[in-house]
Amino acid sequence: MTKNRIPFIAAMFRSLLGCLIFVSVMAVADVSHAAKDPRHVPLDGQTNFRDLGGYETTDGRVVKWGEIYRSGELPRLSDKDLDRIESLGLRTVVNFLTPEETEARGKDRLPGGIREIAAPLSGGIDNDLAQVVLEARKTGDFSSVPPEFNADIHRVLIKEATAEYAALLRAAADPVNRPLVFHCSHGVHRTGTAAAVLLSALGVPWETVREDYLLSNKYRAEEIDRRLEELKTLAAEKQGVPPETVDTTNMEAFYRLQGSYIDASLDEAIQEHGSMEAYIRNVLGLTDEEIKKLRDQLLISSHR
């Protein structure tokens, strides 16, 4: 071996060693994150992608991990995200966005071979209310968006999204479709109500359903903080006042979720049908046999 090749080989070795160390550090980081928060699937292009596994039911069983996920929109996934999605073995994506939203936001970016099911929902608000929210986001003026707005959306979804939610439960019960993820824009309203109905059908206590709903605050925290700061600045400019004097009560209520918001979906089911279980059977139309199949497919004994 000539002397002039020794520095070159040494440099190549150092470069290779550096790559191996980087890969090892990243792998350890992923394992460390999974150990701390197995529910959250960290993605560059979507912060609210998470597993519905691990929740205990009233009959002592547990929702299987790695079968059903909930998320926000998926058009901005990175190449690394696609690898992560592929590693989940995802087979089906149920998309609650309307064609207009998809045109504006872009189609989901997914690995090949994944089945996409369109189940468009308007978000639980009619065109007039949608325009009110759109205008508020443009101007920072949330005076026409009261704190109870989110709860009203969940109530309307319970009444109007019956076909879509029934189809989701039936899709989730079929092993051909799993692993499966369902999503809307931010993974909050349409997805939140869907998750509440699905977990209820599995026999998960409502307290746990509420806790799952509120996790959107945790995973979207940076996004929420950034958006609220943008809106406060925008409102201040429109009003000609310092940002610190802007009343942010309504915008805070809209973006930071409260348990009472998702509770409204349960209240609606109880008020109109007696219980969430009756709603699932009598309104969504799932038979006892279908509910049993759903539970047998997605639940395991907690002693395994």
Write out pLDDT tens, residues 68-100: 999 999 999 999 999 999 999 999 999 999 998
Q: How far is CA 249 from the centre of its chain?
A: 25
Q: What is the pLDDT of residues 43-74, one digit of tens each?
A: 999 999 999 999 999 999 999 999 999 999 99
pLDDT of residue 133: 82
Place of tokens 């064609």: 99
Q: What is the pLDDT of residues 108-139, one digit of tens each?
A: 999 999 999 999 997 666 666 677 888 898 88
Helices 149-160 and 259-273 pack at an angle, to 10 degrees, of: 40
Provide the pLDDT for residue 187.
96
What residue ranges do the domains of the chain occupy?
A: 1-31, 39-301
The residue type of 58 is T
Contact 262, 138 (CB under 8 A): no
Tell me what pLDDT residue 20 has: 37
User: For 39-301, which CATH class?
Assistant: alpha beta
Q: Give pLDDT tens digits for 152-198.
A: 999 999 999 999 999 999 999 999 999 999 999 999 999 999 999 99
For residue 180, list its beta bridge partners. Answer: 68, 92
Q: Tell me the pLDDT of the chain averaged across its residues.
A: 89
Instruction: Please state the pTM of the whole predicted model.
Output: 0.86
